[in-house]
Copies of this chain bind each other. A is one copy, B any other.
Amino acid sequence: MRLVAQNSSLRPASDSVERILAAAEDLFAEHGYDAVSISDIATRADVCKSNVFHHFTSKDELYLAVLNDARQAFFELIDDLHDSAGTLPERLEKFAGSHLQRLIELGKISRLVLRDLLENSPERSKQLAEKVFDNNFSLLVDTLRTSQQRGEIRADINPAMAAVVLISADVFFFQASNVLRHFPDIDFADDGARYSKMLVDILLYGILPRVPIAAN
């Protein structure tokens, strides 16, 4: 939609659109859709309000554009998870760590998506959030299923369930770490790497003592 840096002297143009999108992303993620006005966005983007409407037909369209950018940002960063080699524990730990780190890096966007998740309108954004999650999730499930077929994972495990356990723990860490920090029992609220390590340890081996279990 926008040509940027097409040429040196040609089209230095204006980066208003990007500034508007960036401002909108910041504000929407931090305060939510309804708490942010077009004026707020325009002010932060250093343009006038009507200019926002010159580039986006409505507040809703602007919001969807932000969400779409978010989706793309998530999508572009998944690649390196695919080629990972090594043992299953190694791969899982790498995935868990990268996934959590990504959630935190893309904090604004993550918050945006999670916010959208709480709007339980079946269409509005659920379908859109689905596209965000689909990549990460399907990839992880495939990996687990393959490992299972190789016998590296118990046959009676539901691979999708294992994936959900891993991802949910990452998501929860992201959204609740500010609360977790206040619990005296918790000393890992600021250490994502350690969190991922402990998470994968539990996911792989469980919390019971490591002794043979009655045949199952």
Question: Closest CB-CB distance, A186 to chain B, in whole Å?
Answer: 5
**A134 in contact with B34 (CB, 8 Å):** no
- A134 to B186 Cα, complex, angstroms: 12
Question: Closest CB-CB distance, A32 to chain B, in whole Å?
Answer: 6
> Which of B118, B168, B186, B205 is in CB contact (< 8 Å) with A115?
B118
**B115 in contact with A161 (CB, 8 Å):** no
Binary interface profile of A, 29-56, with partner B (CB < 8 Å = 1, else 0)? 0111111000000000000000000000
> Which of B120, B195, B213 is in CB contact (< 8 Å) with A161?
B195
Question: Closest CB-CB distance, A13 to chain B, in whole Å?
Answer: 35
Binding-face segment, A58-66, A69-77, A174-182: A174-182
Q: Which residues of B contact A32 (CB under 8 A)?
A: 32, 34, 118-119
A171 in contact (CB, < 8 A)? yes
Q: Which residues of B contact A186 (CB under 8 A)?
A: 160, 164
Q: Which residues of B contact A30 (CB under 8 A)?
A: 120
> Which of B137, B144, B187, B206 is in CB contact (< 8 Å) with A183?
B137
- Using known A-B contacts A158-B188, A168-B173, A203-B202, determine if residue A212 contacts B211 with beta carbons closer than 8 Å: yes
A208 in contact (CB, < 8 A)? yes
- A133 to B177 Cα, complex, angstroms: 12
**A165 in contact with B206 (CB, 8 Å):** no
Closest 5 CB pairs of A and B: A168-B172, A206-B206, A34-B34, A160-B185, A34-B35
Given contact pairs A114-B118, A120-B178, A153-B207, a sample of 18 additional A-B residue pairs in the complex whose CB atoms are under 8 Å apart: A32-B119, A34-B34, A115-B115, A117-B179, A126-B178, A129-B179, A134-B183, A137-B183, A153-B209, A157-B202, A160-B186, A161-B199, A165-B202, A168-B171, A168-B173, A168-B176, A203-B206, A205-B213
